[in-house]
Amino acid sequence: MDFRKFRQAMGTFATGVTVITTEVTGKVHGMTANAFMSVSLDPKLVLVSIDKNAQMLDKIQEAGKYAVNVLANDQQEYAMIFAGQTKGDKKVTFGRLNDHPVLKEALLKVTCDVDAIHEAGDHILFVGAVTDFTMENGEPLLFYGGKYRTLNRAENLSV
């Protein structure tokens, strides 16, 4: 199986875009991630999948906690900053939720304590026990086919 073709195939699954944030000795580290999912309602658990080569890996392990910031449709710049897709260092001001650094304007902010860590190939899965969350009104930034996207029409179907 071809690596690039598999990656391209997985890109047909449309997702939102998050920035994972954590803090070690007062220094905030952020990383763009779309491998995020809600796992369990009772107890409230979420999951992020982090590349073994990412700086974020050691930071989450050290902090023992992280926050997930689900980006709104006007926050592509944050996605690009925290994926290293912009040139030069950008100054980002963080807010706080439950004493975690968060992106103030994010659509959804979820704070968690690391509950379980699973090795999965070249990634590590961090299951987080949710300690707090807060939502804003707005529409999400999307990622599909290797490109950032936004919703362009309201959906009429309801579940």
The answer to the question of residue 17 lying near ligand FAD (CB under 6 A) is yes
Instruction: Count how many residues are written for the chain.
Output: 159
The answer to the question of residue 89 lying near ligand FAD (CB under 6 A) is yes
Bridge partners of 110, per DSSP, are 68, 133
Q: Least separation, in Å, of the C-beta of 155 and ligand FAD?
A: 22
Helix, strand, coil percentages for the chain (3-state, nearest 5): 15, 50, 40
Residue nearest to ligand FAD as judged by C-beta position: 35
Cβ neighbours of residue 69 closer than 8 Å, sequence gap 6 or more = 18, 19, 20, 21, 78, 102, 103, 106, 108, 109
Whole-angstrom Cα Rg for the chain: 16
- Of 56 and 110, the one with the shorter C-beta distance to ligand FAD is 56
The answer to the question of residue 35 lying near ligand FAD (CB under 6 A) is yes
User: Which residue type sits at 142?
Assistant: L
Which residue of 26, 43, 84, 121 would you call a contact of ligand FAD, by CB under 6 A?
84
Stretch that binds ligand FAD, among 76-84, 110-118, 128-136, 150-158 (CB under 6 A): 76-84
Which residue of 33, 47, 68, 130 would you call a contact of ligand FAD, by CB under 6 A?
33
The answer to the question of residue 39 lying near ligand FAD (CB under 6 A) is no
Which residue of 8, 38, 40, 55 would you call a contact of ligand FAD, by CB under 6 A?
55
